[in-house]
Structure 1
Amino acid sequence: MKKSQRVIARFPARKVGTRLGIAALFCSGLALTSVDAQADSGSQVQLYGLIGTYVGSLKRSDMPQSAVLMGSGGLTTSFWGIRGNEDLGGGVSAIFALESFFQPQNGALGRSAADPFWSRNAYVGFKGDFGQLTLGRQRNPMYTAESLVNPFGSSVVFSPLVVQTFVANYGGTIIGDTVWNNTAKYTTSNLKGFGATVIYGLGGAAGSPGIGNLGVHLNYQGHGLTAVLSGQRVRYTAAGPVGAQYAYLAGAAYDFKVVTLYGAWAMTSDVSTPTGSHTYEAGLSIPFSPADFLLAEWARTQRSGPTHTTNSLRNTAALGYDHLLSKRTDIYAIYSIDKLSDHPIGNTFAVGIRHTF
C-alpha cells in the first residue's frame, strides 16, 4: 500500500462530519491519482495534518470564575490539509496548499464558526532557486516569527507571547488574524541561513487602493541561533476614516545544547486612536532527555491609550512538561498564571496530547 493510501485509510468518511467526509473522499481521489501522476510528470499530492486536544481548568485574570473544558489544539491548533507540486522544468515547480483548522472535541470545522473552510492556508504559486511566490489566503509571517522565538511555539492557548499579541481574550495587541486573506507573498531562498519574506494583502475596497496590508520579515537560522526581525502595517475601516496600526517584532533563540534561551520584544502603534503597546518576553527549554522537555516562558505587555481600559499592564507566565511518545505523538502538562491590572490572579492547569499524520 502506498504512503498516501495508508494516510487516507485513517479517515473513513462515515466517522466524520458530512462536509469533512466529502472533502476526505475528494482528497482520497487526488492522492490515489497522484500515485500515477508522480511517475508520469513528477507531480505529487500529499494529505497531512495534526490533531490535538487538551483538558484543563482555564482562568484568565479578567474571568470571574474558572472554566473546566476540553479544547482543540493546545500546543498546536489542529488542522488537516493537502499540498502538491509539479516539476515544470528548469528548477521551477508549481505548488499549492489547502489547509483547514478543525475542532476535534466537537468535530466542527475551523477555529470558530467565523472561519472559512480552508482557514489555515489556501494558496497556489511557484517555487525555485529564486525562492517562492504564492497567492491566496496565507499565514501571517509575524505570527510565524513569534513561534520561532518562544518555547511554546505557535500555541494560541499557552504561549504568553502569542496570547498577549494575537489572542483577543487576552487583549491581543496586534490587529488582525494569524492568517491574512487576498495576499501575495514572496520568500527568498535560503542564503547561508538568512531569509526574507514580503507579504501584501490587497484591500479589495473600491476607491481605496491604499487600504492593503503589508509585512516585511527577516530571519536567520544557523549555528544554534535563530533570529527574527519583523514589521507590518494593518489598515482597517471603522466609523471614521481608514486607520492603520504598525507592529514590530525582534526576537532570538539560542540553543546551548543543555538549554535553549528565548527572548523577544514587540510593539504596536496606532496614531489615529492613539493607542500603543510594548511587550517583552523571555523563555527557556531544557531537554532532560531526547524525549523530555521542560518549557518556561513569561511575557509582559504595557498598553497605553487615552482611557483606563486601553492603559493597562498584563503579566502572563507558563510552565510546561512535554514528553515525546514517538516521532509523531507527544503528551504534555502545563500550568499558567495570568495577572491583569486591577484584577485578581488567574490560574490555568491543562494536560494534552498531539499527533501528527
Structure 2
Amino acid sequence: MKKRHNKMMKLGVGFIAAGAALTAFGQETTQVQLYGLVGAYVAKSERSGGPAAVTQLGHGGLTTSYWGVRGTEALGSGYKAIFALESFFQTDTGGMGRNATDPLFSRNAYVGFEGGFGKLTFGRQTNPTYVNMGTLSPFGVSVVFSPLVLQSFIGTYNGALVGDTVWNNTIQYTMPRIAGLGGSVMYGLGEVAGGPGTANIGLHANYVNGNFGAAFSAQRFRTPVTAPLTQQDAYLLGATYDFKVVKLYGSVVKTDASGTTNDTRTYDVGVRIPVSKSGALLAEWAHTKRTRAGVPDNERHTGSVGYDYFLSKRTDVYAVYSRDRQTGFGSTGTIGMGVRHTF
C-alpha cells in the first residue's frame, strides 16, 4: 500500500509539473491550467444512531479538497479539444482521494470536444444530479454540512440515492445554454458481460433567469448494485429565488427501487441571508422518509445553521452547527469551523 501511495504521489507531482510546463511553453492554440481548492475544518461530530461524538480535523468541509489540470486546443471553425484530470485529496493526512478506495483522478477524468453544438465528453465524470443539488442548498455540495447532500449521498446518513457523486465509464452531452436554460444527458456504460442494458443514465436541466433559478435531475442507476435491488430511479426538483435581503431554497428528492421495496421521499428548505458585503448566515433543514417492506418506516431530520465570511475573493472561513435525529434514536449535534482557499 505504501509503494502504491508513493507511486500515485509521484504521478500526481508529474502531472502538476507537466501542467506548469505546458502553461509556460504551450502554443497559442493550446491552453493548460492548474487549479483547485484546499479546505480543512475542525469539528466535534455525532450523528443520530451513530457512534459517540468524535473531535476531528477533517479534510474539505464546505467543499471537498481537490486539484486539477484542464486544457483546450483550438481545432478551427470554433471547435476545441478539451480534457480535465482532477483528483480529490485529504488535507488532514495528505492522502490521495476522499478515502483509500478512490482512484488517482477521483473527481473527473475526461476528454472530449466543445463547440457551438455544446460539449461532448468521455470518461469518469461528476454526476450532474450532485451538481444540481449543490445549487439548491445554501451549503452547496458539502458532504459534511449540507442536510440535502447528507441525506441523499452519504451512507451513514441513510443516503437515499444509490451510487456515487462521480460516475465511471460515462459519455456526457452538455447543451449550450439558451435563454437561461442548460442541460445534459449522461450515459454510463455498465460494462457487464452479457448485459448490454446494464447501464446508468441521467437527464438533467437547470434554468437561471435574473433572481430565479431552478434545477431538475432524473437518473436510473443499475450498476454496481446488488440483489435484490436491480435498479433505482431517482428524481430531483427544486428552485431558488434571491430577494437580495434573503435567498430562498426549496427542493424535493424521490427514489423508487426495483426488485425490492425501499423507497424514499426527501423535502428540503433553506435560506441564505447576507449580513455584510463579505458575510452571510446560512440555514437549511431536510427530512427524509424511507419506506421498506416488512420494516417500520424510518424518518430522518437534519438541520444546519452557519456563518460564512470571505476574507478575500478566494479565501473564506465559516462556522456551522448541525442537528440530526432519526427514528428510534435520540437527537445529536455537530459543531465545526473551517477554512477553504481556491487557486
Task: Give the TM interval when normalised to the shorter protein.
Answer: over 0.9
Spell out, residue by residue over 1:155-194, the C-alpha distance to the aligned partner (whole angstroms, 9 max, x if none).
0000000000100010001000000000000010010100
Q: CA deviation at 1:64?
A: 3.8
Q: CA deviation at 1:226?
A: 1.2
Partners of 2:87 and 2:118 in 1: CA distance: 25
The alpha-carbon distance between structure 1 residues 215 and 305, as it changes in their structure 2 partners (threshold 3 A), is same
In structure 1, runs of 5+ residues without a counterpart are 1-15
RMSD (CA atoms): 1.5
Sequence identity percentage = 49
Partners of 1:208 and 1:49 in 2: CA distance: 38
Normalised by the length of structure 2, the TM-score is 0.96
SS in 2 for 1:38: coil
Spell out, residue by residue over 1:209-252, the C-alpha distance to the aligned partner (whole angstroms, 9 max, x if none).
00000000111012111101110000146664770100000001
SS in 1 for 2:17: helix
CA contact (8 A) 2:318 2:338 kept: yes
> Aligned runs of 1:306-317 on 2, under 5 Å?
306-308=293-295, 311-317=297-303
SS in 2 for 1:108: coil
The alpha-carbon distance between structure 1 residues 316 and 239, as it changes in their structure 2 partners (threshold 3 A), is closer
SS in 2 for 1:354: strand
The alpha-carbon distance between structure 1 residues 111 and 230, as it changes in their structure 2 partners (threshold 3 A), is same
CA contact (8 A) 2:229 2:260 kept: no
CA contact (8 A) 2:19 2:69 kept: no
The alpha-carbon distance between structure 1 residues 32 and 68, as it changes in their structure 2 partners (threshold 3 A), is same
CA contact (8 A) 1:51 1:104 kept: yes
SS in 1 for 2:263: strand
- Aligned letter for 2:337? V
User: Which residue pairs with 1:263 in the alignment?
Assistant: 250
The alpha-carbon distance between structure 1 residues 170 and 88, as it changes in their structure 2 partners (threshold 3 A), is same
- Aligned letter for 2:261? P
User: Which residue pairs with 2:31 in the alignment?
Assistant: 44
- Aligned letter for 1:313? E
Report the number of matched residues. Answer: 339
Partners of 1:61 and 1:269 in 2: CA distance: 24
Partners of 2:224 and 2:318 in 1: CA distance: 41
Residue 56 (1) aligns with residue 38 (2): no
SS in 1 for 2:43: strand
After superposing on structure 2, the runs of 4+ consecutive aligned residues of structure 1 that deviate more than 4 Å are: 237-242
The alpha-carbon distance between structure 1 residues 200 and 18, as it changes in their structure 2 partners (threshold 3 A), is closer
Alignment counterpart, residue 23 of structure 1, candidates 4, 7, 12:
12
Partners of 1:33 and 1:327 in 2: CA distance: 27
Partners of 2:225 and 2:283 in 1: CA distance: 39
SS in 1 for 2:249: strand
Normalised by the length of structure 1, the TM-score is 0.92
Residue 134 (1) aligns with residue 121 (2): yes
User: Which residue pairs with 1:34 in the alignment?
Assistant: 23
User: Which residue pairs with 1:116 in the alignment?
Assistant: 103
Alignment counterpart, residue 319 of structure 1, candidates 283, 302, 305:
305
